[in-house]
Structure 1
Amino acid sequence: MTAKTARPAVDPELAELYAALPAPVVLDLDVLPHIRPYSSAPVEPLLEGRPIRRRELTVTAADGAALALSIFSPAGADRARPAVLWLHGGGMVMGDRFAQIDIPLEWLEQLDVVVASVEYRLAPEVRGDTLVEDAYAALSWLAREAEELGIDPARLVVAGTSAGGGLAAGVALLARERDLPVRAQVLLCPMLDHRNVTVSSAQFTAPDIWSRETNAFAWGQVLEGIDQDEVPAAVSPARAADLSGLPDTYLDAGSAETFRDEVVDYASRIWAAGGDAELHVWGGGFHGFDAVFPQADLSRRARAARIDWLRRRV
């Protein structure tokens, strides 16, 4: 086996759990419609019996489209709380606002924060910067409506996993440009670089839970018709020339996943620009391991580390 094809081992507990899953497939336009229905789950079972209030609203996108926005708040005395805008994963081609929502709902209960999750539109139905602008529209709406929503506008957090993590990074770049204050960004195994040229992207080819080939397909749907040298930084944040002035940043990834190296590079460039970033590379973690198997020991440790970091910032 050559160095190019060698892969870091998956954590033994995760490997055993993973072996019970259906074999991963490479996404393409024929497969995508069959996968989309399984890329989320109902939110109601997660809310049952928990002291959480839910509101369903809409916000208006930059092009006038109506975007569904779910807001989850702790029950109890009203006061101005920190708020997290959650952006779901799914490669920017699948998923909905309830995908992986169990992660920020833990933050709601443990940190007493409001959680908002927006139904940003997906590729290939929309392309280019539409997805990140949808996410930014939700953040700016939360800032404008903060008083009515019981939100402290000085303590806004943007967060997401996988594609949502990449979108969160893009939203933070837009917020910096547009002078919208953001307290922190939480980027969980984020999808940051459309170029697909890192060592880890070469290591994790198909079959894999998110392979180099699937990654190329997903980015291709978002960027069709856009010259590779003209991709906006807000869409592919690794292209940003300047990472100074960003909010405090939490990043994580598994050692056994496609996005590992682009995440490490992004953290390094924030540090180089004088920024505040905390990076965790979880040994033996595959892409999205803690969302797929939250009961695993490594997943529990990863989730606890994020909560600890957030507690010190909100």
Structure 2
Amino acid sequence: MSLIPRPAFDPELHALLAGMPLVERMDEEVLAQVRALPSPSADSLLAGRRVVRREVDVPAEDGTVVRLSVLSPADRDPAVPAPCVYWMHGGGMVLGDRFGQIGIPLERFGAVVVAVEYRLAPEATGTTAVEDCHRGLAWVAAHGEELGVDPGRVVVAGISAGGGLAAGLCLLSRDLGTPAIAAQLLICPMPDHRNVTASSRQYSGEPGVWTRETNEFAWRTLLGGRAGGEVPPYVSPALAADLSGLPAAYVDTGSAEVFRDEDVAYASGIWAAGGQAELHVWAGGYHGFDAQFPQAELSVAARRTRTDWLGRVLRRTADGGAAGGGGPAAVSA
């Protein structure tokens, strides 16, 4: 049992979590076991949603196929260019597929959602995953007219590992000068491989949803031999020395999770560089709480606030304005 004082879970979430399996340890053997578990099919996850699905294979630089699922609203007016949400799933860089947490980007706004199947560690390490994401986004930008997408209203979004990849993708796209990104939606992102924050130490030493020990395993698996050496900021965005020139960001996290402090620091770094970020720290929220229990009161508030922000961004960009706007950043705790 951890003896370090730490924020408690929200009471409703704590009750819902009781009896759910928690992570006791993560190693190569457990990873193989978890990967062997059956995953919900894409058809079951999309059941009841009025979307038209198209599968696209984009070649990576090494010739490997990066698969994209393009999900377009079935009732969309093809004469009106739609916004696009480019989605990166969670799973600590070692688990999951492109349909993970897919209900989050499909919530509203008639957006075309493109979900990317980036390669996972340990089979693919280093910058492979973020480069896969960039390759897919470049394809979306090149085929915007065909997809019916407004090139000025592309938002990159992700949860957990996908949130870290979204941040790294924005850095990579900025440095390469393409593709254009209107905004970045980072949901409890995983931006820092170092595990040096107070929050990483608070949620350590006992089973949990995502612990310091699990995080260390995931990063070690992704980085391979680089774990103790030079790590590119596109992989671990918290290392970026320059956070200027980035698209407007939304960052949310829980007060009761490993990534809390690194997420707060990342938003603060954007502000310090003169950029715009909206930060929400949900009191008593643990890692991925609103994806796991969307009906909980705190989850409803988190999803509504996030959706409201996305609506503002898309309205501003539809009017030809900057996604960042001019209002103050908000902090909820």
TM-score normalized by the length of structure 2:
0.90
Deviation at 1:171, TM superposition (A): 0.3
Give the aligned partner of residue 270 of structure 2.
Answer: 270
- 1:163-195 residue CA offsets vs partner (Å, 9 max, x unmatched): 000000000000101112100000000000000
Q: Secondary structure at the match of 1:49?
A: coil
Q: Secondary structure at the match of 1:177?
A: helix
Mapped contact 1:250–1:277 kept (Cα < 8 A):
yes
1:265 and 1:292 map into 2 onto residues whose CA distance is 25
Give the aligned partner of residue 217 of structure 2.
Answer: 217
Q: Secondary structure at the match of 1:36?
A: helix
Give the aligned partner of residue 301 of structure 1.
Answer: 301
1:262 and 1:40 map into 2 onto residues whose CA distance is 30
Give the aligned partner of residue 9 of structure 2.
Answer: 10
Give the aligned partner of residue 62 of structure 1.
Answer: 61
- 1:203-250 residue CA offsets vs partner (Å, 9 max, x unmatched): 001311100000000000111111634100000000000000000000
Give the aligned partner of residue 86 of structure 2.
Answer: 85
Give the aligned partner of residue 164 of structure 1.
Answer: 162
Q: Which runs of 5+ in 1 are unaligned?
A: none
Q: Secondary structure at the match of 1:104?
A: coil
Mapped contact 1:39–1:95 kept (Cα < 8 A):
no
Deviation at 1:112, TM superposition (A): 1.1
Deviation at 1:38, TM superposition (A): 4.4
2:37 and 2:23 map into 1 onto residues whose CA distance is 13
- 1:115-150 residue CA offsets vs partner (Å, 9 max, x unmatched): 010110000001000011001111111001111111
Q: Secondary structure at the match of 1:287?
A: coil
Structure 1 window deviating more from structure 2 (162-171 vs 218-227): it is 218-227
Corresponding residue pairs, total: 310
1:37 and 1:281 map into 2 onto residues whose CA distance is 34
2:225 maps to a residue whose letter is G
Give the aligned partner of residue 249 of structure 1.
Answer: 249
2:189 and 2:64 map into 1 onto residues whose CA distance is 26
1:30 maps to a residue whose letter is E
Give the aligned partner of residue 126 of structure 2.
Answer: 128
Give the 5 Å matches for 1:1-314. 5-38=4-37, 40-76=39-75, 77-78=77-78, 79-106=80-107, 110-180=108-178, 181-205=180-204, 206-226=206-226, 228-314=228-314
1:138 and 1:145 map into 2 onto residues whose CA distance is 11
2:96 maps to a residue whose letter is G
1:198 and 1:275 map into 2 onto residues whose CA distance is 23
Deviation at 1:40, TM superposition (A): 4.5
Deviation at 1:306, TM superposition (A): 0.9
1:161 and 1:97 map into 2 onto residues whose CA distance is 11
Q: Secondary structure at the match of 1:271?
A: helix
1:172 and 1:252 map into 2 onto residues whose CA distance is 17
Cα 1:157–1:27 shift into 2, 3 Å:
same
Cα 1:39–1:13 shift into 2, 3 Å:
farther
Q: Which runs of 5+ in 2 are unaligned?
A: 315-333
Mapped contact 2:193–2:219 kept (Cα < 8 A):
yes
Mapped contact 1:74–1:112 kept (Cα < 8 A):
yes
2:51 maps to a residue whose letter is I
Give the aligned partner of residue 317 of structure 2.
Answer: none
TM-score normalized by the length of structure 1:
0.96
2:309 and 2:20 map into 1 onto residues whose CA distance is 31
